[in-house]
A = this chain, B = another copy of it.
């Protein structure tokens, strides 16, 4: 099987690539060829016995997508996106990359499909940013996508296109609405959602972290490991039972910040919790107020998607995957 990963240099792209390289399979099928693409040429993984191509591309260039799919990948994992904050700051760039880029990709596949019946699995990483306030405590599978960011709008449009192209038979698409991925490894970043990871990751490493919102804030989380499992399942599952509605809310853990902190206390003690400093930030509070707090992800669960069942588990996965297994 040939797998194309667009956005392979990002955090989830790298973890997904590594999971294929380590196991040699995607789901149960052997992966013989990997095409990795991003704005910078993704690192070529070591220890993979198949073919690897690493490409630096700009998906907002209409010539990129035909080049990317010229090897007729069986599975396309489309992770490429301008993130929420940047898409909000740079309107043109967000639409150019997140909407036009996605459409160029979908149309390149469509043209091959119309020419000779090519029909790959297309996995599109969408986001809970497709939803905007007011939302119920538990968003169900028939709740409207009414985003309050340009990023969320672009993701919701990508989902609609994916469903229409799938219905037409141009590809076999799955759009997965990822929860906030927590605990993100690496350095603190400027994303408004960054603190959800920061208040766990930094204290676990003995460092201070800032909490900009009240601890009553509730949000929807899944681990990086769960994100890789979602992509893998979406890439390999039987899509017959999914029907026409191909945009699925992924399962996750709904937790308040206070519940996150209590999980941290159980695992790393009061000393770790003491490293969290409250520093209310009205801008971040205002942004977070528009975000989903939880989901009844019934369809995804019935279709076999699995996430963590507690925030303790999310912390333990971070310790296993990022900290060598112990504090």
* Interface residues in chain A, defined as those with a beta carbon under 8 Å from any beta carbon in chain B: 91, 132, 142-148, 150, 153, 156-157, 160-161, 163-164, 167-168, 244-245
Contacts and interface: CB of A to CB of B under 8 A. Distances in A.
Contacts of A156: 160
Nearest to A114: B91
Nearest to A156: B160
B147 A164 contact: yes
A153 B160 contact: yes
Contacts of A142: 143-144
Given A143-B144, A145-B145, A150 B168 contact: yes
Contacts of A148: 167, 244
A142 B145 CA distance: 9
13 contacts: A144-B144, A144-B245, A146-B245, A147-B164, A148-B167, A148-B244, A150-B168, A153-B160, A153-B161, A153-B164, A157-B160, A157-B161, A160-B160
A164 to B, nearest CB: 4
A124 to B, nearest CB: 15
A244 B132 contact: yes
A167 B147 CA distance: 10
A218 to B, nearest CB: 20
Contacts of A163: 146-147, 153
Contacts of A153: 160-161, 163-164
A164 B150 CA distance: 6
A164 B94 CA distance: 12
Nearest to A136: B142
| Interface hub of A146, A150, A244, A245 (most chain B Cβ within 10 A) | A146
Contacts of A132: 244
B150 A244 contact: no
A148 B243 CA distance: 11
A168 B91 contact: yes
A209 to B, nearest CB: 32
Q: Across chains A and B, which 10 residue pairs bring their CB atoms closest together, nearest first?
A: A153-B164, A144-B144, A157-B157, A146-B245, A153-B160, A142-B144, A156-B160, A157-B160, A150-B164, A142-B143
Contacts of A145: 144-145, 160
Contacts of A150: 164, 168
Nearest to A133: B244
A52 to B, nearest CB: 35
A64 B208 CA distance: 56
Nearest to A142: B144
Among A142, A163, A164, find the residue whose CB has the most chain B CB atoms closer than 10 A: A164
Contacts of A167: 148
A13 to B, nearest CB: 26
A296 B144 CA distance: 15
A147 B168 contact: no
Given A91-B168, A157-B160, 12 more contacts: A142-B144, A143-B143, A147-B164, A148-B167, A150-B164, A150-B168, A153-B160, A153-B161, A153-B164, A156-B160, A157-B161, A160-B160
